[in-house]
Structure 1
């Protein structure tokens, strides 16, 4: 398995490759047949299998199961059996390519989207799905991988644990977590302050807290992300010297060490 993360035309591009010991035509059926997709794809799929055909996604547990939501619908944008299938899923573009090899075929998934901070979640999720695909194809049993472990691995590989310093000296973090926001919020509400910062009175509102510090304002917020809570943190003022202190604190939060 290979994974690469790049930026093209302002969008994030995740590319994943997996060599499969199965004929290209067999894998193609697993990519296009709703009955076979049910065994490995993260949502139930209904598709009009032709160029410009409609495709829709629903979830067995009902989460996101709203057909009027454009995020659960898409359009087939490329269709060249048994080599290429591309379609949109809301704002995401998924491109599946197959090429024959001596012992089977090479499957390449290219996902294009805007949510770069969610890239570790997308990668971990697709690895688990592709493991399930191999089982659907009748291959040897693939050892189960832990989602949280995979997620945190790719956080580091992609550098998604790093914050950024703006031109005005403020800093910003956006960090995907694997725990739900309801579990993370009590930790933040109990006091979330990096070393060296002298916080003023904290104001809390709808899973957002803010407090003044010596030279500006700290704001920390939680919302639903892909696979868990999404944390955002902004510190205004000349804040660059606190970048590493915040990174260490956020990583302890992600590891459930606070």
Structure 2
């Protein structure tokens, strides 16, 4: 059994992942807490671990440096938890007939990254199960991008929001993609590197019902901002921004409108949702 849920706990996002493992709690505990075992399933090798509350766990970042976490709970062989920067990772083991029930939670702030986090932890927990079973080498063969895209929809991370301002309204989307910004830019721009101020807006940047004016500002794979038109007149702006995210580019899209176009907010929200998800589907189809 593999259950994944995205919750909100004390105002923060929390992934909760539950596994039924065919290994006793002592074996799972060993896989969770012995440095040589952790290094086989965790994203970073463990350089040092003080297995006590308040103890430090040091990870090898892979570039010659290390970073540290602080252990927040130790109750062998039931609970192991530690804080990595502002994130809290907690593992709870319960004995069941034929093995163990493992409940893993990851508490964090960057909610748009939840699907990427969950797909990554799926690989880690699959590897952990193998380590608990005594494997010296682990093999994980999941389609993490397909899982990411499924979880984006299950978690509602594809949905945008409408904000009201003193001057009008804003439709906003923040979507984690699984390709780098240069590849996303190539799809949106039709392969053009030269999108510049004053140019017509490449069709890939506009949803099918949008009427657009001129590009106001652009930097390849970083941002583009352009006018949108209502009844042939400028009514606001659309802005794409790209920055590194968990597993690929993080896209933030905003459309601003004035009070005179308030009746278009809901249709804009719907149209941009379809456009962004169409982009994600095209990137998924073209991968590899």
Q: Same fold (TM over 0.5)?
A: yes
Alignment of 1:168-187 (within 5 A): 168=165, 169-187=169-187
What SS does the aligned partner of 1:161 have?
coil
**Equivalent residue, structure 1, for 2:164:** 167
**Equivalent residue, structure 2, for 1:231:** 251
Are 1:196 and 2:209 matched, yes or no? Answer: yes
**Equivalent residue, structure 2, for 1:77:** 72
Are 1:246 and 2:272 matched, yes or no? Answer: yes
CA separation of 1:179 and 1:136: change in aligned 2, threshold 3 A: same
Alignment of 1:1-258 (within 5 A): 1-45=2-46, 46-60=48-62, 62=63, 66-67=65-66, 72-138=67-133, 144-168=141-165, 169-190=169-190, 191=202, 192-202=205-215, 203-205=217-219, 207-214=222-229, 215-237=235-257, 238=262, 239-256=265-282
1:19 & 1:138 partners in 2: Cα distance? 13
Shift of 1:73: 2.5
What SS does the aligned partner of 1:226 have?
coil
Equivalent residues of 2:177, 2:251 under 8 A apart? yes
Shift of 1:252: 1.6
Task: Compute the TM-score of the two structures, normalised by the length of structure 1.
Answer: 0.90
Equivalent residues of 1:170, 1:240 under 8 A apart? no
2:275 & 2:68 partners in 1: Cα distance? 38
1:103-160 CA distances to partner (integer Å, 9 max, x unpaired)? 1111110110001111101111111111111222238998722010110110111011
Aligned residues: 251
Regions of 4+ moved over 4 Å: 139-143
Larger Rg: 2
- Does 48-57 or 154-163 show the bigger shift? 48-57
Unaligned runs of 5+ in 1: none
